[in-house]
């Protein structure tokens, strides 16, 4: 097998046999550092056993979405007892279920350079020892972790800096409190993970008190993103005006901020609070916030550093949007999805200026499936460009210049 000093091997969508892995381990086991089998098939855990037993300098073992024939979990045990160099381990979406959590814990203890581990769905309590051994800095999971799982993270991952809780599959229909994340889980994280710098979370319920706790404790937070799901008809504590104010005023290192709520989630006063307490924020996404143009105008009198603003499901008029753009002195990019539009869009001309391009996408009906139409709301896209207006507009986009003619 050549070349002599083969250190990295990456196969994607290939058929790899156990015999191939055995040969690789025998011939290059002493020099191989990176093995990526990305969406591959044809091999079993026997082949992995050869790799993990012989490749003692392996730094990356990547198996994500590969179809692995599982015979036992001995391969992971061999990796745990033979390797101290591992930096990345990934067997996500492989359906490998016979692994021992004790082996994962041993890997975390022995491999001091370990920075990334990506595995499949697991019971959070089984991973407590692993979390403590590895001194976890970042976790990405789904909201099925529940409040109980969030509390485990808060107790076990004191040095965590990044936490991302994705939305679970809708078809799971988990109504149990332990299958969703709410103010209980967020409060636990706020009190337990004081070094947190980034959090993105889908919540099924939220309170002002939970947001206030985050503002009080998470002084290093730079990036906050929260989506309020529509699983529950009634939310415990709306509007969130005071909680958002406390979060923003307490976390003065914030540079990126996103909240996607529901109607009634934030009043005009709450939107004004965002403007007043966002001195350093450069990117912001706001969904279903405010009650009227007054809230947007109050917001736009603040945010001195805001460069990129995205708004969804808003109740603002074109006139208010244009005025807000003029007041946001640092703004370089605006995207609005859903607003109170006029027939011509000419009210947006108020924000016209040199090198500032404005593009409209009128509301339209889109065919979805058989005999079903979905109404897509109107969009506004505005941005600075020294190159001037685009010339490659699709039919669905109307540059404001052509509207004005």
Per the CB < 8 A criterion, the answer to whether 49 and 78 are in contact is yes
Mean pLDDT value of segment 101-128: 78
pLDDT at 274 over 50: yes
Domain annotation for the chain: domains and CATH numbers: 1-134 (3.80.10.10)
Which H, E and C letters describe 225-286, residue by residue? EEEECCCCCCCCCCCCHHHHHHHHHHCCCCCEEEEECCCCCCCHHHHHHHHHCCCCCCEEEE
Mean pLDDT value of segment 331-350: 81
Mean pLDDT of all residues in the chain?
86
For residue 79, count CB atoms less than 10 angstroms from its CB and return exposed for 0-12, middle for 13-18, buried for 19 or more. Answer: buried
3 or 243: whose pLDDT is higher?
243
Mean pLDDT value of segment 204-222: 95
Per the CB < 8 A criterion, the answer to whether 90 and 63 are in contact is yes
Q: Which one, of 137, 134, 135, lies nearest residue 111 by Cα?
A: 134
pLDDT, one tens digit per residue, over 117-175 is 887 766 666 676 677 666 677 887 777 788 988 998 898 888 889 999 888 765 444 44
């Amino acid at each position: 097998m050549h070349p002599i000093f083969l250190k990295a091997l990456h196969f994607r969508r290939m058929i790899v046999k156990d015999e191939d892995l055995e040969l690789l381990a025998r011939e290059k086991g002493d020099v191989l550092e990176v093995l990526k089998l990305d969406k591959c098939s044809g091999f079993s855990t026997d082949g992995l056993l050869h790799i993990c037993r012989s490749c003692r300098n392996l730094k990356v073992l990547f198996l994500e979405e590969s179809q692995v024939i599982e015979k036992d979990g001995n391969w992971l045990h061999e990796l745990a007892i033979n390797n101290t160099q591992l930096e990345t381990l990934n067997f996500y979406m492989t359906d490998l279920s016979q692994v021992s959590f004790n082996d994962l814990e041993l890997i975390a203890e022995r491999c001091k350079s370990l920075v990334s581990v990506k595995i499949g769905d697991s019971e959070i309590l089984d991973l407590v020892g692993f979390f403590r051994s590895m001194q976890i800095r970042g976790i990405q999971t789904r909201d099925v972790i529940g409040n109980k799982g969030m509390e485990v993270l808060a107790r076990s991952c004191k040095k965590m800096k990044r936490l991302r809780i994705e939305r679970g599959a809708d078809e799971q229909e988990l109504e149990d409190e332990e299958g969703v994340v709410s103010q209980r889980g967020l409060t636990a994280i706020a009190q337990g993970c004081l070094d947190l710098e980034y959090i993105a979370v889908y919540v099924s319920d939220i309170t002002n008190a939970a947001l206030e706790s985050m503002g009080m404790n998470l002084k290093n937070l730079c990036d906050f993103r929260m989506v309020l799901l529509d699983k529950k008809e009634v939310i415990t504590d709306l509007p969130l005006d005071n909680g958002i104010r406390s979060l923003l005023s307490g976390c003065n290192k914030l540079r990126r901020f996103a909240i996607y709520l529901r109607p009634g989630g934030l009043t005009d006063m709450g939107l004004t609070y965002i403007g007043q307490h966002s001195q350093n924020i450069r990117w912001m996404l706001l969904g279903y916030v405010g009650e009227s143009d007054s809230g947007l105008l109050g917001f736009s009198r603040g945010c001195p550093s805001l460069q990129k603003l995205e708004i969804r499901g808003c109740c603002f008029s074109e006139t208010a949007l244009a005025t807000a753009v003029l007041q946001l002195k640092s703004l370089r990019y605006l995207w609005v999805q859903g607003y109170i539009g006029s027939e011509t869009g000419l009210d947006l001309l108020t924000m016209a200026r040199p090198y500032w391009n404005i593009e409209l996408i009128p509301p339209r009906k889109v065919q979805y499936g058989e005999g079903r139409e979905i109404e897509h709301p109107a969009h506004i896209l505005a941005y600075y460009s020294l190159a001037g207006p685009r010339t490659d507009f699709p039919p669905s986009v109307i540059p404001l210049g052509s509207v004005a003619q």
